[in-house]
Structure 1
Amino acid sequence: MASSTFEWLVGLLEPLLHCPGGGPRHLPAASRLALGLSHLYTGAPYAELAARFGVPEAAAHSCARRLRRVHCTKFHFWLAFPSHAADIRAVSVGFESLPPDGGLPGCCGAVACPRFGVGGGVSTKLLADASCRILSIAVGFRGDQLDSRVLRRSSLYRDGETGRLLNSAEQYLVAGAGYPLLTWLMVPFKGVATDASQGDFNTLHKLMLRPVLRTISSLRNWRVLSSPM
């Protein structure tokens, strides 16, 4: 992370990083943020973080917990599917402009359900745009559940089925072969393509899935997601 980005985050989060009812009050906001981010990125035990930063173990635990709480309660709206037609159209344009030759028109997001935690014990529903930005996320599903079941248990599915998600019948999301074909969810032809047009479609469909797969790959760099949950 660039120092300018870190300083921007400190300024943004400083009023929110104070721990109610006590906590490491003597630590500056930059140290609290560094502790919290270090825990997310490394997944290191609190005792190891405490030794690295020269603070009590309780302080390391408090800083990490506070940053997680701030993310979940104050900034969840950053991970929301666009509600305005112009913003949804901008997402679609991004997929149409994917290199090398662009994707299909009308795509407004790519869906996948990665597994996190030890042994993939927790499943997550993830929706990303063409720039790999997360548009919607739902967590806490058992890792042994099928992707299609995880999707059906999410609010994204309910919004799609009731017509509240997209603005027109020409707009849709894309997902892999493990998902059902729906009026708002486009999946590839299964098995071996029977003609050239099916093969061409599957090639373009695979192209439009790449952003969400890159998003998942980036998330796996945060080693806390590989720790017990």
Structure 2
Amino acid sequence: MAPPKKSKKTKRKPKFGDKSNTDPKPAEPKALEIDWWYSFWQKNCNSGPAVPSDEDEAFKYFFRVSKKTFEYICSLVRQDLVSRPPSGLINIEGRLLSVEKQVAIALRRLASGESQVSVGAAFGVGQSTVSQVTWRFIESMEERARHHIKWPDPDRMEQIKTKFETTYGLPNCCGAIDATHIIMTLPAVESSDDWCDHERNYSMFLQGIVDNEMRFIDIVTGWPGGMTVSRLLKFSGFFKLCESGKRLNGPARMSSEKAEIREFIVGDSAYPLLSWLMTPYEGKGMSASMAAFNAKHNDARLLAGRALSQLKGVWRILHKVMWRPDKHKLPSIILVCCLLHNIIIDNGDELHANVALSDHHDAGYKEQNCQQVDPDGKAMRETLARHLHCYQASRLS
């Protein structure tokens, strides 16, 4: 959920399935850019020592996805990119840009985080073309690919919970949560304390919940980085759904001591301890069961941090400082990068090992600490700690 925006008159965007969007189906103009990839590769193969010599690996290096996944992405946006007037979408030779080249330009812009001028030079197009192509792509993906981020249905959730219990020993765990800052510069007229975060950067928040495969199953963005992580959570639709019993409301599990363990997610100490959000124990003099819980909890919650490090490493536009972005458009850019992150996972693409950020996704930011402790959350954390202790004791006996 993003912050409410000021209402303004906009043209109605056709919804998926609208006759105005699908009937009659527009014919794709004949583009002459059939060899765009080979032209691009020849021009950029020596752009750095890290560029692979293998063609398929080089394609993945530049665009972050395999050729097969690239074709799938093109199939999602093709109708939109073809049906809209292609005003200005020509290269320096006067040829109309193909859908494939438009998608490549947009992916390269998002993946590299380089300036529009640099991306345009790599493809032989101007800055304005890169800007127009990228935004058309983002608008289309925001609508056509949204199904790649969704809360799991009961069957899929059972699979997730089974994996969390098998791998981390946490029964009924449904995911891990974390948040990161997208740093930007703002014009003086738009600067405010709301957007200035605790490290004196202007930033926008992204909160993500991931499953056992680091797939985003819920995201929240659009809120100022000056908020605390716990406040961001409480403004989210996810929080409201959980508090009203409409999410994380699946069947309870029984602990080794016959106590109920409800569905929950795990997060670090920046979050409040709630009946459906488990945070670690803090302080000195922890018991053996507390220490065991913290170890398992830490392993599980780091999934969210690794997902955000991968997201910002793959789609570097989110990692570099954004130069005066439109704050109303930035949430769409963040969402589409999250959608692409999930598409990579859904299609089984393997990323290069050095793509993810080597350091923390929020390097330079101090850890936050929330002191809120809900009595029901405290009781359930104790139940989980005892359950893990009993389970480990039974395995050693």
TM-score with structure 1 setting the length? 0.91
RMSD: 1.8
Pairwise CA distance, 1:175:
0.9
- Corresponding residue to 1:165 among 238, 241, 247: 247
* SS of equivalent to 2:212: coil
Question: Which residue does the alignment assign to 1:59?
Answer: 129
| Structure 2 gaps, min length 5 | 1-64, 91-95, 185-200, 253-261, 326-397
Distance in 2 between the 1:126 and 1:158 partners?
A: 16
Question: Which residue does the alignment assign to 1:136?
Answer: 218
Residues 123 and 141 in structure 1, CA contact (< 8 A), matched pair in contact too:
yes
- Corresponding residue to 1:108 among 171, 174, 177: 174
Question: Which residue does the alignment assign to 2:292?
Answer: 200
* Residues 36-185 of structure 1 mapped to structure 2, 5 A cutoff: 36-82=106-152, 84-98=153-167, 102-118=168-184, 119=201, 121-166=203-248, 167-169=250-252, 170-185=262-277
Residues 179 and 187 in structure 1, CA contact (< 8 A), matched pair in contact too:
yes
1:4 aligns with 2:68: yes
Pairwise CA distance, 1:193:
5.0
Pairwise CA distance, 1:71:
2.4
* SS of equivalent to 2:223: strand
Moved over 3 A (4+): none
| Structure 1 gaps, min length 5 | none
Pairwise CA distance, 1:103:
3.0
Pairwise CA distance, 1:116:
1.4
Pairwise CA distance, 1:72:
1.9
Pairwise CA distance, 1:95:
1.2
1:190 aligns with 2:256: no
| Per-residue deviation, residues 76-122 of structure 1 (Å, max 9, x unmatched) | 2321212x321221221121232xxx331110011111111234611
Distance in 2 between the 1:109 and 1:138 partners?
A: 15
Question: Which residue does the alignment assign to 2:29?
Answer: none
Distance in 2 between the 1:120 and 1:106 partners?
A: 38
| Per-residue deviation, residues 51-93 of structure 1 (Å, max 9, x unmatched) | 11001322211111111112222222321212x3212212211
Percent identity between the two aligned chains: 26
* SS of equivalent to 1:113: strand
Residues 17 and 67 in structure 1, CA contact (< 8 A), matched pair in contact too:
yes
Distance in 1 between the 2:213 and 2:202 partners?
A: 26
* Greater helix share, structure number: 1
Q: Which moved more, 1:9-18 or 1:66-75?
A: 9-18
Pairwise CA distance, 1:19:
6.7
Larger Rg: 2
Amino acid at match of 2:111: Y
Question: Which residue does the alignment assign to 1:227?
Answer: 321
Distance in 1 between the 2:183 and 2:269 partners?
A: 24
